[in-house]
Structure 1
Amino acid sequence: MEIRALVLVAMAAMVLESAAATTYTVGAPDGLWDLQTNYGEWVAARTFHPGDKITFTYSPELHDLVEVSKAGYDACSNANNISAFRTGNDVVTLTAPGTRYFLCGLTGHCDSGMKIRIDVVAAGGSSSPVSPAAAPTSSAAASASVSAGMTTAVGLAVLLVALHHAIVIKPSLS
Structure 2
Amino acid sequence: MAFRSSIMFLLVAMTLCGACSGAGAVYKVGGPDGWIVGVDYNQWSSSKEFRVGDGLFFSYNKQYHNVVQVSEQGFKSCNSSSPIAAYSSGSDTITLERPGHYYFLCGAPGHCEDGQKVDVQVSRPIPDNPSPAPSGLSSPSTPHPEERPPHSAALTNAPKLALAVFASVLACCFLN
Match of 2:126 among 124, 127, 133: 124
SS, match of residue 29 in structure 1: helix
Displacement over 6 Å in runs of 4+ = none
Partner of 1:64: 66
SS, match of residue 22 in structure 2: helix
| TM-score normalized with structure 2 length | 0.59
How many residue pairs get matched? 110
| Contiguous gaps of at least 5 residues in structure 1 | 1-12, 126-174
Amino acid at match of 2:101: T
Task: Confirm whether residue 33 of structure 1 aligns to residue 35 of structure 2.
Answer: yes
Q: In structure 2, what is the Cα distance between the partners aligned to 1:50 and 1:35?
A: 27
SS, match of residue 35 in structure 1: coil
Partner of 2:86: 84
Deviation at 1:36, TM superposition (A): 1.7
Deviation at 1:16, TM superposition (A): 5.6
Partner of 1:17: 22
Deviation at 1:17, TM superposition (A): 2.2
Deviation at 1:124, TM superposition (A): 2.9
Amino acid at match of 2:113: D
Q: 1:26-82: per-residue Cα shift (whole Å, max 9, x none)?
A: 11133x100021101100110000100010000010111100000100100001110
| Contiguous gaps of at least 5 residues in structure 2 | 1-17, 128-176
Q: In structure 1, what is the Cα distance between the partners aligned to 2:36 and 2:101?
A: 21
| TM-score normalized with structure 1 length | 0.60
Q: In structure 2, what is the Cα distance between the partners aligned to 1:93 and 1:111?
A: 26
TM-align CA RMSD:
1.7
Q: In structure 2, what is the Cα distance between the partners aligned to 1:14 and 1:91?
A: 18
Q: In structure 1, what is the Cα distance between the partners aligned to 2:37 and 2:117?
A: 9
Is this contact kept in 1: 2:75–2:104, CA < 8 A? Answer: yes
Distance 1:87 1:15, change over 3 A: closer
